Amino acid sequence: MQEPLLGAEGRDYDTFPEGPPAPGPRTRPGALQSKKVFLATFAAVLGNFSFGYALVYTSPVIPALEHSSDPDLRLSKTQASWFGSVFTLGAAAGGLSAMLLNDLLGRKLSIMFSAVPSAIGYALMAGAHGLWMLLLGRTLTGFAGGLTAACIPVYVSEIAPPGVRGALGATPQLMAVFGSLSLYALGLLLPWRWLAVAGEGPVFVMVLLLSFMPNSPRFLLSRGREEEALRALTWLRHTTDTQDVRWEFEQIQNNVQRQSSRVSWAEIREPHMHRPILIALLMRFLQQLTGITPILVYLQPIFDSTAVLLPPEDDAAIVGAVRLLSVLIAALTMDLAGRKVLLFVSGYAMGWGPITWLLMSEILPLRARGVASGLCVLVSWLTAFALTKSFLLVVNAFGLQVPFFFFAAICLLSLVFTGCCVPETKGRTLEQIESYFRTGRRSFLR
C-alpha cells in the first residue's frame, strides 16, 4: 500500500514540523490571515482570465472569417488551422521566456510584463486588415498566456498558507475557464473585432491591481531582500506585528538559505531534483494529450459538424459554464478531498485542469522552480501546438471519432500515471514537500 506523503519519521522531517508552535494570543484566525492573500491572488489570476479568453478567441471568430466578405481576411481550412494553433507557439515561447524572467524579474513583475504583448496582440487583431495581423496578434496573446501560465501558479503557491493553498491553487484554472466562458458569452453579442477590444480590459485591471501587491517572500529572500520579504509576509498574513509570522518566515528563510545557489546540471541528476521535475513535465505533457486545447480552440466548429439541436455558439457557452462550475467545485474541495483523489475520480475541469498546475508549483524544488516551471509550460504548449495544428486535418481526413478515441486512451494512461507517480501534497508546506523529495524514498512511486 502506498505510504502517505511525509508520513515517515526521520531527520529531514524533524526540520519541518507539522505546524508552528502553539499559537500565542496574537495569532489571528486562518480566514482573517488569508484575507490579503485572496486579494493578491485575485490580482494575479486576472492574467489567467485574459489567457482563457485569448485561448478560445478563435472558436466564434473562425466561422465568421471563413465566410468573410473581405478576401484579405477570408480563411481557408489551412489558414484556419494556423490561426487556431499559432497561439500555442506563442505560449511555448512565453514559457521559454519565463525560464529567465521568473527568476530575473520575479514572479509579480513577470506577470505584469505579460500585459505588454497581450495588449499589443489584442490591438492587432481588433484592427486587422490582413491574415498576418491576425496571426501576429494571436501569437503575441499566446506569448502572454504562456508567460502567465508559468509565473502565476508559482506566485500563488509561494504566497498562500498551506490551509488554503489548494483552493487558491485552483483559481488560475478557475479564472482561465471564466475567461473562456466570457468569450463564448460575448461571442453571442459582439462582432469579432469588438471581442478583441473587450480583451484589453482585464489586462489593464491586472496591471493596476498588481502594482499594489507584494512580491513573493521566497523570491525576495532568494535575492537577499530580507526586510522587504518580512514586510511582504506580514502584509500577506494580514497582521502588523512581525512576531505573528516569525515562525513561518524562519522556515522559509532556512529553506532559501540552504538553496541560495543556482542549480547546476550535475545537481539535476540528483533524485530529489529530477524526480519532481520529471513528474511535473509528464503531468503537463499528459494534460495536453487529453486534447483539451484543440477541443476548446475549435469548439464551435466541432459543434457545427455534429447533429446537436442547439446552435453551435450556444453549445460552446454551455460547455464553458459547465467547466466553470466544475473548476469551482474543485477549488472548494481540493483542500478537503486531496489532489490525488480528484485526479482519479473527476473529469478534466475538476482534476487534470486545475490540479496539475497546482501540483507543478508545489512539487518543483525552489532552486529550479523558475526555470522548471517555464520548461513545463514550454513542453505543454509545444504538445498543444502539434495537436491543434493537426486536429482539423485529421478530422477532415478521418472524422471526429479518431482524435476522440486517441484522447480517451490518453485519459486511461493518465490514471495509471497518477496512481504510480503523483504524490499527495494536501495540507503540507512547500518546505515539507521539498524535504520529502530530499529523503530519496520511492514509496510514492510504487
pLDDT digits (tens, 9 = 90+) for 292-341: 888 888 887 888 777 666 777 777 788 888 888 887 887 777 777 778 88
Confidence (pLDDT) at 133: 93
Which one has a higher pLDDT value, 284 or 113?
113
Rounded CA separation 255/238 (Å) = 23
What is the biggest distance separating any 2 CA atoms in the chain, rounded to whole angstroms? 72
Q: Is the pLDDT score of 23 beyond 80?
A: no
Rounded CA separation 10/6 (Å) = 10
Beta-carbon contacts of residue 107 (< 8 Å; ≥ 6 apart): 151, 152, 154, 155, 158, 215, 216, 219
Confidence band of 265 (pLDDT split at 50, 70, 90)? low
| Domains and their CATH numbers in the chain | 35-213+270-439 (1.20.1250.20)
Rounded CA separation 82/68 (Å) = 17
How many C-beta neighbours within 10 Å does residue 405 have? Answer: 9
pLDDT digits (tens, 9 = 90+) for 226-248: 889 888 888 888 777 677 778 88
CB 38 within 8 A of CB 168: yes
- pTM higher than 0.85: no
pLDDT digits (tens, 9 = 90+) for 93-107: 988 888 788 878 888
